[in-house]
Amino acid sequence: MQLSRPIGVFDSGVGGLTVVKSLMERLPNEKIIYFGDTARVPYGVKSVEAIRHFSAQIAEFLLKQKVKILVIACNTIAAVATEHIKKIAKDLPVLNVIESGAKAATLYTQNHAIGVMATQATIKSGAYTQAIHKIQPNCRVYSQVCPLFVPLVEEGLLNHPATLLMAKEYLEFIKTEPVDVLLLGCTHYPLLIPLLKQLTNERLCWVDPAITTAEEVASLLKESHLLNPSQAIPEHQFYVSDIPLKFQAIAEQFLGYRLQKLQLARLD
């Protein structure tokens, strides 16, 4: 395989750009191709069948771009479509935010009690609990659905009284449980860490799967001798299925950089 091939990263929208940001920092010489299905976002409230259908279309698009690894940067897709995508990817490695997040969380918990905050589809799938139990069968997992966090973040209300109110409600569950690690199982949620920290014990450990996934991609590429030897600054490519209102601003909030080379690619 050509080592200069890109890393394919995809998500239902812009949230997966947090994984791209972590990858750009961890692996500055790797070219990244990103696909965000902004025409059909959000996936978190849709059916398993729809999510599988949509994500298969995206995976096929990225495979045509000759990527060397597929990274599922969307918790909802990771939760319900990983096996489906592995079949489509055949021999190509497929990593996802859930397995990476679960690995880190089990490493950090001392009480064997992890809290998972995510969208309804992710929690309902049980994927985080399964991934955690695969590594640490005796670990207790406490799940909390936080459906308002995505729209609040997308409206930029990162420090608004309404966000604080919702966060208080969503964090209620850790008061009565011995949780010492909180896994943020949705790409949008880490943007709320400063606000969430105001409401929680300072010894609580926060896991952002975007960061742990970038670490895991780096390890896997190294072990498989797939790292790009070139020292040139790569030109990343960003594809979206729609360029909606406020897109640039929201996307750059997630990416933390200026968005270069954005292209529209319709899937339907």
- Give yes or no for a cis peptide into 147 (omega within 30° of 0): no
Is 146 noted as a catalytic residue in this protein? no
Catalytic site residue from 139, 146, 186, 205: 186
Q: For residue 26, give the nearest of 252, 228, 238 by alpha carbon.
A: 228
For residue 263, give the amino acid letter.
Q
Q: Which is nearer to a copy of itself, 93 or 147 (CB)?
A: 147
CB of 244 to a copy of itself, least distance (A): 5
For a copy of itself, the binding residues (CB under 8 A) are 38-40, 45-47, 49-50, 53-54, 120-121, 124, 147-148, 150-152, 154-155, 157, 161-162, 165-166, 241-246, 266-268
Q: Which is nearer to a copy of itself, 67 or 152 (CB)?
A: 152
Taking the C-alpha atoms of residue 100 and residue 76, their distance in angstroms, rounded to an integer, is 14
Q: Which residues contact 53 (CB under 8 A, 6 or more apart)?
A: none
CB of 157 to a copy of itself, least distance (A): 8
Ordered strands of the 32-36 beta sheet: 94-96, 69-72, 7-11, 32-36, 237-240, 262-264
Contact 85, 72 (CB under 8 A): yes
Q: Which is nearer to a copy of itself, 109 or 119 (CB)?
A: 119
CB of 59 to a copy of itself, least distance (A): 16
CB of 85 to a copy of itself, least distance (A): 18
- Name the phi and psi angles at 138, rounded to 5: -90, 5
Q: Which is nearer to a copy of itself, 21 or 124 (CB)?
A: 124
Contact 248, 254 (CB under 8 A): no
Catalytic site residue from 74, 139, 146, 205: 74
CB of 178 to a copy of itself, least distance (A): 28
Contact 168, 137 (CB under 8 A): no
Is 205 noted as a catalytic residue in this protein? no
Q: Which is nearer to a copy of itself, 155 or 235 (CB)?
A: 155
Active site residues: 74, 186
